[in-house]
């Protein structure tokens, strides 16, 4: 009798322990690999979609699927309830409407004082509040967004992620883990000189196609080179290095963009300073006095 009671008690104890483990495991909102991005944005993820638990080998990783996984990861954070967040997202949707890869582009505004922006696979972009504070016109914002779109459309992001994951001999992982790894890798890496040049060209061509001021590309790049910290408690060199480390060769790029813009000097193009100030996209309202190159 005592033996049966001991066995029954043991089973109940194990069952309770297993139940506690399952409840605790479900409370875990993200794996350790998600730490870099959440340290950056300063907010925890709230939910995990079942889609993210599917295990995939690196070789079978699809860019659209990876981009959708990144969106699921940060959907709870999206700054879509503010006029700033809605403005930047609406502008991005407009300028990316004819993208070649067929992605639905999404952007997240990160609450950081330094100026930077990143591109992720599948049409996901990040931009900091410091970058938005540095920009002064819609044309400049289009230039930055267009540059980051270039990294996506030219496959710099996906190729870089796949190469680094294979180099690290990363085996099959859940889609959520792969999304976190991809974000962590791209936040901390930089593209090559040729890739940056190609992304600059993509962003510049987008300015021309959308009839925004072509000089905005060099202008905003120069501002970033001269950028002063938004938070005076932060070290200037530290803030500058954030952008310059991930977007090198700034002086050369400014000179090249100025040379490209010179071919359009005097042509009527849209600046959008009022649009940016009022957070109204040009497609919603165009201000007649916000053109340059008017005789």
Residue 21 domain flag: no
Query: What domain count does the chain have?
Result: 1
Helix pair angle (216-225, 138-153), 10° resolution: 90
**Side-by-side strand order, sheet with 124-128:** 106-110, 124-128, 117-120
Tell me the C-alpha to C-alpha distance, in Å, between residue 116 and each of 158, 246, 285: 20, 8, 28
Residue 145 domain flag: yes
pLDDT of residue 110: 87
Q: Could you count the other beta carbons within 10 Å of the beta carbon of residue 197?
A: 16
Domain boundaries, position 232: 30-292
Residue 231 domain flag: yes
Rama region for 124: left / alpha / beta (φ>0; ψ in -120 to 50; rest):
beta
Residue 17 domain flag: no
pLDDT of residue 5: 44
Residue 121 domain flag: yes
Q: Scanning the structure block, which residue is given the tokens 């992982």?
A: 173
Residue 11 domain flag: no
Query: What does each of the 295 residues of the chain score in pLDDT, given as a tens digit?
Result: 544 444 444 444 344 343 332 233 322 333 333 344 544 444 444 444 444 545 556 666 889 999 999 998 887 666 667 889 999 999 999 999 999 999 999 999 988 898 999 999 999 999 999 999 999 999 999 999 999 999 999 999 999 998 888 777 666 677 778 888 889 889 888 888 899 999 999 999 999 999 999 999 999 999 988 764 444 444 444 444 455 555 557 888 999 999 999 999 989 999 999 999 999 999 999 999 999 965 4
Residue 209 domain flag: yes
- Kindly report whether the global pTM for this prediction surpasses the value 0.75: yes
Q: Which DSSP category does 238 fall into?
A: H
Contacts of 205 (CB under 8 A, 6+ apart): 146
- Dihedral of CA atoms 8, 14, 19, 23 in degrees, nearest 10, equals 160
pLDDT of residue 294: 52
pLDDT of residue 57: 61
pLDDT of residue 58: 64
Rama region for 264: left / alpha / beta (φ>0; ψ in -120 to 50; rest):
alpha
């Amino acid at each position: 009798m005592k033996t049966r009671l001991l066995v029954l008690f043991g089973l109940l104890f194990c069952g309770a322990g297993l139940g506690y483990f399952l409840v605790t495991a479900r409370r875990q909102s993200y794996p350790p690999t998600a730490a870099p991005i959440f340290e950056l944005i300063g907010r925890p993820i709230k939910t995990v979609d079942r889609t993210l638990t599917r295990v995939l080998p690196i070789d079978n990783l699809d860019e659209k699927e990876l981009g959708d996984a990144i969106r699921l990861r940060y959907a709870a954070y999206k700054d879509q309830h503010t006029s700033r967040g809605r403005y930047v997202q609406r502008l991005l949707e407009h300028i990316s409407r004819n993208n070649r890869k067929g992605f639905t582009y999404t952007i997240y505004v990160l609450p950081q004082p330094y100026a930077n922006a990143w591109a992720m696979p599948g049409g996901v972009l990040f931009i900091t509040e410091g970058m938005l504070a540095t920009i002064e016109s819609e044309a400049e914002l289009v230039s930055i967004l267009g540059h980051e779109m270039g990294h996506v459309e030219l496959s710099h992001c996906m190729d870089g992620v796949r190469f680094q994951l294979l180099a690290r001999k990363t085996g099959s992982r859940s889609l959520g883990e792969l999304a976190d790894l991809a974000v962590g890798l791209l936040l901390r890496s930089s593209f090559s000189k040729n890739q940056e040049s190609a992304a600059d060209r993509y962003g510049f061509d987008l300015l021309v196609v959308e009839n925004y001021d072509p000089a905005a590309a060099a202008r905003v790049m120069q501002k970033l080179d001269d950028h002063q910290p938004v938070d005076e408690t932060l070290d200037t060199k530290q803030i500058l290095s954030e952008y310059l480390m991930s977007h090198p060769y700034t002086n050369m790029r400014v000179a090249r963009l100025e040379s490209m813009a010179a071919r359009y000097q005097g042509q009527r193009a849209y600046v959008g300073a009022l649009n940016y100030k009022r957070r109204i996209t040009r497609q919603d309202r165009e201000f007649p006095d916000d053109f340059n190159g008017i005789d």
